[in-house]
Chain A
Amino acid sequence: DVKVTQSSRYLVKRTGEKVFLECVQDMDHENMFWYRQDPGLGLRLIYFSYDVKMKEKGDIPEGYSVSREKKERFSLILESASTNQTSMYLCASSLSLPQGGGDSNQPQHFGDGTRLSIL
């Protein structure tokens, strides 16, 4: 089974701090994703990476950056944390990027999430 591990289940930080969220996957997947999950808004994509050192912005990248120095590890960075970044953060990985149509779309495998509170 694919294992996606997020380093912290709960994290409390202060406004203005630089925050690192770490994610590791053990299945040699090419693609990794960071989402935030807020009630009533579903999951929103922050950034994704399709290869080492490659990244693309998702739908809500403002205030965030990412790092992928090794294939198995994808880090999300809050440059200067703000209270509106309090949320559940979910990391995911997939074997391939989804293509339009076809049962070949590989599932995304999610970690258990990091609940981040910014005070």
Chain B
Amino acid sequence: TQLLEQSPQFLSIQEGENLTVYCNSSSVFSSLQWYRQEPGEGPVLLVTVVTGGEVKKLKRLTFQFGDARKDSSLHITAAQPGDTGLYLCAGLHSGTYKYIFGTGTRLKVLA
């Protein structure tokens, strides 16, 4: 099973810092989703991107889909402790209906 590679795997930063999480693959996706999973809960959808080069913003979170639709990034500005969690990307190949999930980035924001 092909996985999406996410980096970094772990990230511990101070409140107020900026960070970027990457999601990379060698194959093209027709759409890509980002989820956040908090401890003891299931993943919750943050955003879906579908167009190469697309940028979406969700308050302090900025999501970008690569021009070639093989990769994506999540940038958080002025991180807060409430951003702590596991961030997962999930890509959909054209002609299929099963999302492939990334390996995850575990973020901890210290107050």
A, B bound:
yes
| B-binding residues in A (CB < 8 A) | 4, 9, 35, 40-45, 48, 58-60, 90, 92, 97-103, 105, 107-113
The one of B4, B40, B48 that contacts A112, using a Cβ cutoff of 8 Å:
B40
Secondary structure call for the A interface: loop
- B97 and A41 within 8 A (CB): no
6 further A-B pairs in the complex, CB-CB below 8 A; given A43-B101, A59-B1: A40-B9, A40-B103, A90-B43, A98-B99, A105-B48, A113-B42
- A42 and B50 within 8 A (CB): no
Q: Give complex CA distance A105, B103 in Å.
A: 22
- A103 and B48 within 8 A (CB): yes
Chain A CB within 8 A of B31 CB: yes
Secondary structure call for the B interface: loop
Chain A CB within 8 A of B30 CB: yes
Chain A CB within 8 A of B98 CB: yes
Say how far B71's CB is from chain A's closest CB, in angstroms: 16
4 closest A-B pairs by CB: A110-B42, A42-B101, A107-B45, A100-B30
- B45 and A108 within 8 A (CB): yes
* A-B contact list, 20 entries, CB within 8 Å: A40-B103, A40-B104, A42-B102, A43-B90, A44-B1, A44-B101, A58-B98, A59-B1, A90-B43, A98-B31, A98-B92, A98-B98, A101-B31, A101-B94, A107-B33, A107-B48, A110-B43, A110-B44, A112-B40, A113-B40
- A102 and B1 within 8 A (CB): no
Q: Which residue of chain B has its CB nearest to the CB of A90?
A: B42
Say how far A109's CB is from chain B's closest CB, in angstroms: 8
- A99 and B97 within 8 A (CB): yes
- A92 and B45 within 8 A (CB): no
Provide the residues of chain B in CB contact with A107, threshold 8 Å.
33, 45, 48
